[in-house]
Amino acid sequence: MRTLGVPGRSVVVLLAGALGVLSPLTALAQDTSTVNQPWAPPPASTSHVDDGGGQQHEIQYQKSTACVQRDLDNNIVLQEKPWGQQYMQIEQAQKLAVAARGSAGGGMKVAVIDTGVTNHPYLKFGVVGGGDYVDASKNGLEDCDGHGTEVAGIIAADTPPDIGFKGVAPDAQIVSIRQSSQNYSVPNQTSNPGGGGGQSGGANGGGSREQGQGAGNTHTLAEAVVRAANLNVNVINMSVDNCRPADGSINSGERELQAAIHYAVTVKNVVVVAAAGNTSDTCKQNDQPDPEKPQSIVSPPWFSDDVLSVAAIDETGGVASFSMNGPWVSVGAPGTNITSLDPSPGTDALANQVVEDNKQQAIQGTSFAAPYVAGVAALVRAQFPNLDPHQVMHRIEATAQHPGAPGGHDNYIGYGVINPVAALTAIVPSEEGIAPAKAEQLPSGLPPAAHKNWTPMVVALAGTGGGLLVLLVTLFVVHTIRRNRPA
C-alpha cells in the first residue's frame, strides 16, 4: 500500500517482531455462573472495579525485546491514499464536520487502550499519558510493539496536505493507556517475539496471547477501561481481545471487564469501541452450523449491549478472511493494507508494513478496523453532543451499509460497513421521536388465479350457433323449393 507523500517520506518497516499481536488477556479462575441464552452474557455486574491507580501493582514486568525501529535502508516514497480512507469517504465526512462544527472532532478525547502511543508530529495535540500497566514510569507514552501508535494514527493523524493518509478525527485529543505489550515479560520468563500460542489476532493485530508471553490480562484491561472513563474521555478504543472456547460460563476476569465497560458507558457517558478479533489456531472461527451457538467467545466484543464491535473488510468490500464472526458483531470497517503513523521515536514518517517471521507483509487486522469506527464516533459525538453512548452506537449502526440479511444484521459484518457521511447527516427516526418502520411479511406464493368471465364467450357462441341454424334452415327451404319446381 502506498500513500501520497513527498521525497524523503518513506515506507517504514517495523521490526518489533509481531506488530499488532497484543498481550495475553488471560482467562482468570472460572466461576459457576452460566449464560442463560445461547450466546449472550449474563447482565452486567454492578460491582465496582477500580483503576489500580493507572499502573500495575501485582506483576513487575521487564523489557525482553527491543522496541520498534525504522528500517533506514528502506526509502520507498508513499504515493497513494489508503484504499480504506477512500472507500469510506473520510475526507468528505471531515468537510461536513468542519462546515457544521468548525472542526473534525474538536473537543473530543479518545482513549487508546493498547501498547502505548509514541508522540508523533502528526498528532495535532500531542498525546496525553493516561496510565501504564506495563511500566508505570512511561505513563503510556512508550510503544515498544508499534501497535498503539498506528491505532492512534488512524483515529487522529493530522497530516500535511501533500500526504494522502489522514486520520478520521484529526482535531481529537489522544489519551494513551498502555495495558499490554509482548515486548515485556515477567523476569526469568522467555518472551515470544514472533507471536503465536493463543493469539486471537492472527499475524497482524486484534489479538491476545497466553499468559507468560507478554504483559497484560483481562484484570488490567478492566482497570484500564475504568481509568479511561475516570479521565472523562468521550470514546475508548480497545484493539485487544481475549478469545476462549465457549462453555456456557463467564469467568471472573470477564465479569470485571464487563462491569468496567458498563460503568464507562452508563455512568461516565463513554462510547466504547472494540476490535472483533482475528482467527488463529487457538481462536477458532465461529462457522458452526448454529450461528447462535458460537464455539469461540471473544471479549470485549461479547458485551455487545455496551460495545461497538468491529469486523474487518478487505479491498473487495467483503469480510476479511481473518475477521472473527459472531452474533455480537456490530459493524465493519477496512482492516487490510493499512497505512498509519510510524511508531519509532523521533520520526515524522508513515508505516505500511510489518516484519513477521522475518518477512515483510502488509499491516492488517480487526485491530485497525476498530479505530476507523472510534474516529467516526468522535466525529458523531462532536456533531451531536446531546446523544448518549447508546444513541451514538445506534446512529453508527443505523447508517451503516446493511447486509442482505433479516433485520439488516448478520454474524459477519453486523449492521454493515460504516458510512461516515451518513452518520453525520442522516435523520435517525428514533432521535426524532418517530417510531421505527416495521417489517411486513410479503406473500410468498402466487396470487390466486382470476376466474374467467364466460358470458361474452357464451353470447358469441350463441349468436354464431343461431346464425348457423338460420343459414341451414334457409338452405333447406331453397333446396326444397328448387326440387319441387316443374322442369
Number of domains in the chain: 1
Residue 1: inside a domain: no
248 in the Ramachandran plot: left (φ > 0), alpha (ψ -120 to 50) or beta? left
Residue 397 inside a domain? The answer is yes
Backbone φ and ψ of 317, nearest 5°:
90, -5
Residue 193, pLDDT above cutoff 50 = no
Mean of pLDDT values over 190-216: 41
Give pLDDT tens digits for 398-419.
999 999 888 899 999 999 999 9
Q: Are 368 and 338 in contact (CB under 8 A)?
A: yes
Choose, from 51, 114, 145, 241, the residue flagged as catalytic: 114
Express each pLDDT in 244-272 by its tens digit: 999 888 998 999 999 999 999 999 999 99
pLDDT at 140: 93
Residue 124: inside a domain:
yes
DSSP assignments along 405-457, one per residue: SGGG-BTTTBT-B--HHHHHHPPPGGGGTPPPPPP-PPP-SPPPPPPP--HHH
Name 244's bridge partners: 297
Q: What is the mean pLDDT of residues 202-216?
A: 48
* 480 within some domain: no
Q: Which residues contact 423 (CB under 8 A, 6 or more apart)?
A: 93, 376, 379, 380, 395, 396, 399
114 catalytically annotated: yes
In a domain, 464, yes or no: no
Is 145 assigned a catalytic role? no
The pLDDT of 208-213, averaged and rounded, is 41
Domain carrying residue 376: 11-432
Helices vs. strands in the chain: H and E counts, helices first:
9, 17
| Across 51-65, 67-81, 195-209, 239-253, least confident range | 195-209
Over range 117-143, report the average pLDDT.
94
pLDDT band at 468 (very low <50, low <70, confident <90, very high): confident
Candidate from 62-66, 153-157, 423-427 with smallest mean pLDDT: 62-66
pLDDT of residue 239: 94
* Bridge partner list, 111: 175, 236
pLDDT of residue 369: 97
Residue 73 has pLDDT above 90, yes or no: no
Residue that has been written with the C-alpha cell 485529543 in this structure:
173
Q: Give the pLDDT of residue 71.
A: 66
Q: Which of the two residues, 21 and 240, has the higher pLDDT score?
A: 240
**Which runs of E-coded beta strand occur in 232-339?**
235-238, 242-245, 249-251, 271-275, 296-299, 308-313, 331-334
Q: Give domain status of residue 4, yes or no.
A: no
Across 168-189, average pLDDT: 90
Choose the catalytic residue: 176, 304, 323, 367: 367
Backbone angles phi, psi at 96, to 5 degrees: -65, -40
In the block, residue with C-alpha cell 485487544: 240
Euclidean distance between CA atoms 220 and 226, whole angstroms: 10
Mean per-residue pLDDT over the chain, rounded:
83
| 390 given a catalytic annotation | no
What is the DSSP pairing of strand 235-238 with strand 30-34?
unpaired
Report which residue type is found at 431.
Answer: E
CATH number of residue 195's parent domain: 3.40.50.200
Decide which of 389 and 62 is more confident: 389
Does residue 6 form part of some domain? no
Q: Of 440 and 20, which is predicted with more confidence? A: 440
CB atoms within 10 A of CB 38: 13
Rg (C-alpha) for the chain, rounded Å, is 32
- 453 in a structural domain: no
